[in-house]
């Protein structure tokens, strides 16, 4: 679990006391992993990517070795090509982050358990810069290479996957053209511009929450699926967590016959520290809807959240715990049921970690970048006409930036202030 004090790599401590992630060595080029393309080789930096054509079939994953265990990093060859295509977006990243504030990569490496970090954070791109927002653009969000013209096929979500969510009637699974303009081969869309005013239909507030909360986590350095919002159709597109050479399963409550939804082999790979940190970061951003149906388990045991449309502000940590303990326990029990030797992580430990991360954010100064990132989406959706989303005419949105500021300030042991 680590311990002690550490500081940003530039040497500025800034009272930035936190537990370190396990020591991480650079990915090795001497170890390759077999896949369907026996001629492809593992690269370890964007400099080794010579072009889209050269990497068409090269989708091997790099490895990150820790002193605790081996995590298979989700940065694929296709990811590297995608990031290289949009590298100009990130050129100002270092200049936009003051030297006395840790970058997203520094913060995530120093604070979170191994396996939480976002792919572009591992690539050296800052989440704050990734969410530069042009209000006049057709598509906004951190998924810079997404374009609706890349969509090859569409299928109703109810026909594509087994699901029972309230937004099912407005969702599709879309297949993307295999041209490596995006690393993912699929995405999931939610139509917020449907015009229906029926109860429980997805609305503008849900679209705002999807974009702002995912951006907040992104700016913390936390791994979330890429999001893009098409301003013309009022549709949110979310990158599939599963990609070429990386399989996933929904954790789920279990099968109808009482057996777990995931295998014991997969459940045994889940790391309690990584799952705890992933849940804790989401709670700080206001996402307490952490039930098992909203968690995806990667083939390496990595736990990922993918649903951010139902979030709220909680004045005290006790109120957040009271509201979400049932959902958190639901997920922990699902893992416990599937694991060979059970799962010892408790909801109390998750909320203890919320307090620790809030304290680390507060003392690091990184929270200002997280707040600035989400403010962009708060302001954008504030200007959106709610009538276009099927709801009543209203310009107010619940500001995610204010929510995070409230959570970090109120829940941090490093701050004596209280935000009401």
Position 73 pLDDT exceeds 60 = no
The pair phi, psi for residue 55, each rounded to 5°, is -110, 15
Q: What is the 3-state secondary structure of 342-360?
A: CCCCCHHHHHHHHHHHHHH
Over range 66-87, report the average pLDDT. 66
The model's pLDDT over 256-271, given as tens digits with 9 standing for 90+, comes to: 777 888 999 999 999 9
6 Cβ contact list (under 8 Å, min separation 6): 16, 17, 18, 20, 110
Indicate whether 255 pLDDT > 90: no
Handedness of CA 274, 275, 277, 282 (dihedral sign): positive
Q: Which residues contact 3 (CB under 8 A, 6 or more apart)?
A: 19, 20
Q: Hey, what are 149's tokens?
A: 């013209």
Strands 235-239, 295-298: pairing is unpaired
Share of the chain above pLDDT 70, in %: 77
In this predicted structure, what is the pLDDT of residue 389? 83
For the chain, percent of residues with pLDDT exceeding 90: 45
CA distance 236 to 148: 11
Residue 372, number of CB atoms within 10 A of its CB: 14
Instruction: State how far Cα 292 lies from the chain centre.
Output: 16
- Indicate the pLDDT class of residue 392, thresholds 50, 70 and 90: low
pLDDT at 163 over 80: no
> How far is the C-alpha of 178 from the C-alpha of 290, rounded, in Å?
32
CA dist., res. 384 & res. 141, Å (int) = 15
Inter-residue contact 364 to 102 (CB < 8 Å): yes
Residue 92 has a pLDDT of: 58
Neighbour tally for 152: CB within 10 Å: 12
Quick: pLDDT tens for 215-232.
999 999 999 999 999 999
**pLDDT-wise least confident of 4-8, 311-315, 325-329, 370-374:** 4-8
| Three-state secondary-structure class, residue 235 | strand
Helix (H, G, I), strand (E, B), or coil: what is residue 132?
A: coil
The alpha helices in 27-138, defined as continuous H runs, are 77-85, 104-111, 119-122, 127-130
Please tell me the predicted confidence (pLDDT) of residue 246: 83
Tell me the pLDDT band of 390, cut-offs 50, 70 and 90.
Answer: low
In SS3 terms, 152-184 reads as EEEEEHHHHCCCCCCCHHHEEEEEECCCCCCCC
At 109-153, the pLDDT tens digits run: 999 998 899 888 888 788 888 888 887 899 999 999 999 999 999
pLDDT for 76 equals 78
- pLDDT at residue 215, as a whole number: 95
Residue of 9 and 235 predicted with greater confidence: 235
Per-residue confidence at 353, pLDDT binned at 50, 70, 90?
Answer: very high
Reported as a single tens digit per residue, the pLDDT across 8-50 is 333 343 444 444 433 333 333 333 333 333 233 233 333 332 2
């Amino acid at each position: 679990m680590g311990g002690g004090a550490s500081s940003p790599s530039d040497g500025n401590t800034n009272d930035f006391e936190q537990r370190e992630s396990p020591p991480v060595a650079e990915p090795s080029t001497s170890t390759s992993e077999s896949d369907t393309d026996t001629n492809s080789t593992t690269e370890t930096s964007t400099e080794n990517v010579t072009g889209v054509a050269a990497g068409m079939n090269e989708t091997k994953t790099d490895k990150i070795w820790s002193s605790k265990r081996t995590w298979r990093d989700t940065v694929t060859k296709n990811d590297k090509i995608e990031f290289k295509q949009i590298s100009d977006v990130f050129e100002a990243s270092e200049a936009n982050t003051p030297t006395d504030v840790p970058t997203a990569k520094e913060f995530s490496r120093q604070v979170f358990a191994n396996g939480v970090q976002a792919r572009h954070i591992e690539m050296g791109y800052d989440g704050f810069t990734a969410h530069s927002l042009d209000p006049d653009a057709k598509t906004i969000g951190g998924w810079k290479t997404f374009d609706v013209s890349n969509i090859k096929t569409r299928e109703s979500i109810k026909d594509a996957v087994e699901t029972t969510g309230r937004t099912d009637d407005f969702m599709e699974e879309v297949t993307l053209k295999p041209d490596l303009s995006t690393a993912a081969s699929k995405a999931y869309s939610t139509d917020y511009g449907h015009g229906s005013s029926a109860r429980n239909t997805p609305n503008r507030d849900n679209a705002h929450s999807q974009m702002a909360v995912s951006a907040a986590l992104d700016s913390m350095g936390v791994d979330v699926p890429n999001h893009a919002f098409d301003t013309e159709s009022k549709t949110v597109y979310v990158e599939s967590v599963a990609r070429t050479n990386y399989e996933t399963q929904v954790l789920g409550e279990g099968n109808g016959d009482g057996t777990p939804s995931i295998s014991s082999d997969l459940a045994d790979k889940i790391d309690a520290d990584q799952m705890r940190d992933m849940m804790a970061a989401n709670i700080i951003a206001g996402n307490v809807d952490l039930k098992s149906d909203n968690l995806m388990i990667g083939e390496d045991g990595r736990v990922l959240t993918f649903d951010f449309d139902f979030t709220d502000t909680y004045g005290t940590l006790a109120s957040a715990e009271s509201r979400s303990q049932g959902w958190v326990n639901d997920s922990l029990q699902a893992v416990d049921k599937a694991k060979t030797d059970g799962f010892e992580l408790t909801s109390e430990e998750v909320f203890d970690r919320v307090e620790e991360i809030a304290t680390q954010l507060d003392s690091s100064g990184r929270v200002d970048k997280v707040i600035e990132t989400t403010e962009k989406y708060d302001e954008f959706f504030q200007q959106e006409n709610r009538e276009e989303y099927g709801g009543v005419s209203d310009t107010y949105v619940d500001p995610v930036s204010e929510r995070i500021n409230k959570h970090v300030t109120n829940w941090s042991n490093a701050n004596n202030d209280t935000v009401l």
